[in-house]
Structures are given as C-alpha cells and as structure tokens.
C-alpha cells in the first residue's frame, strides 16, 4: 500500500499517478486533498505517519513545487523524503538514500513525467552495502 497526498495544487497530478500506477497493481491510500484548499504540512504529516507506522510501505506527496511537502515531511522522525523532478533522482534516492517518501511539484513537472518518476521510485530497491552506513548516520542525526 502506498500513501499519497497533495495540496490543492496537486489534485490532478495525484489523480493521474493513482490511475497510472493502479493499472500496474499498486494500491493507494489517498489522504487528500480532493480539491479544497488545505495546508500542505497537514497532508505531509498524514502521509508520513502512514509510512512510519508501517500502514503503508512508501509515500508520495505533491504540492505546487514539491518543496513545501519535502520540508514538512523531513521534520517527521523516520522519514527520508526526496524532491524528485528527473529519472536519475527518483531512482538513486531509492538505491542510495533509501528514501521512503517522494515529493513532486505539480507546477514544475508534467503529469506524464510524474507517473514515470513515481513508478521508478516505487519499483527501485535500496542497494544497502556502503549506503547503509550513511543511512545510519542520518538516523543518528535525527535522534540527537
């Protein structure tokens, strides 16, 4: 299960991602918004709590630029959120950073690219190895 949420700027992109990836067998827990104006930190918290509680494997957050969502998400203990706008970042944030939340900007990338980035993010595993040491250092920073 993938937690997904957006603010009012990302509604159409969120719908496109859900539609495209549901066709590939991914299941989503949609945590809003459906178009009503909202505060993106509230949505970020809801999605991230689903991830940290184990209710959902990963999360996707969408706002106008993706920046606000990524800033809010990274305040939540246990979240490694990455703002992605290109294939390389979406792939390598999973391979090397074990990101568990991807953020995107509905006003900065198109819906087709968003669907492709979400797919690569969700299908790419973590390499572990030398990268685990760095994840452990991030966790140490988070716990201090």
> Confidence class of residue 116 from pLDDT cuts 50, 70 and 90?
very high
Positions marked catalytic: 63, 96
* The model's pTM: 0.97
Bridge-based pairing of strands 28-30 and 81-83 is unpaired
2-143 to CATH, choices 1.10.3720.10, 3.40.140.10, 3.30.70.1290, 3.40.1400.10: 3.40.1400.10
* Of the candidates 43, 14, 47, 8, the residue with the CA atom closest to the CA atom of residue 115: 14
Residue 63 pLDDT class (50, 70, 90 cuts): very high
Half-sphere exposure of 68 (CA within 13 A, CB side): 19
């Amino acid at each position: 299960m993938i937690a997904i949420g957006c603010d009012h700027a990302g509604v159409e992109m969120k719908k496109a991602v859900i539609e495209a990836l549901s066709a590939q067998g991914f299941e989503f827990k949609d945590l809003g918004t459906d178009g009503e104006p909202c505060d993106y930190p509230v949505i970020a918290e809801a999605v991230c709590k689903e991830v940290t509680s184990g209710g959902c494997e990963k999360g996707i957050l969408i706002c106008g630029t993706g920046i606000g969502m990524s800033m809010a998400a990274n305040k939540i203990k246990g979240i490694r959120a990455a703002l992605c706008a290109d294939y390389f970042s979406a792939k390598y944030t999973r391979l090397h950073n074990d990101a568990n939340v991807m953020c995107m900007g509905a006003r900065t990338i198109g819906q087709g690219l968003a669907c492709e980035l979400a797919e690569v993010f969700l299908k790419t595993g973590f390499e572990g190895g030398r990268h685990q040491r760095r994840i452990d250092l991030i966790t140490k920073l988070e716990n201090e």
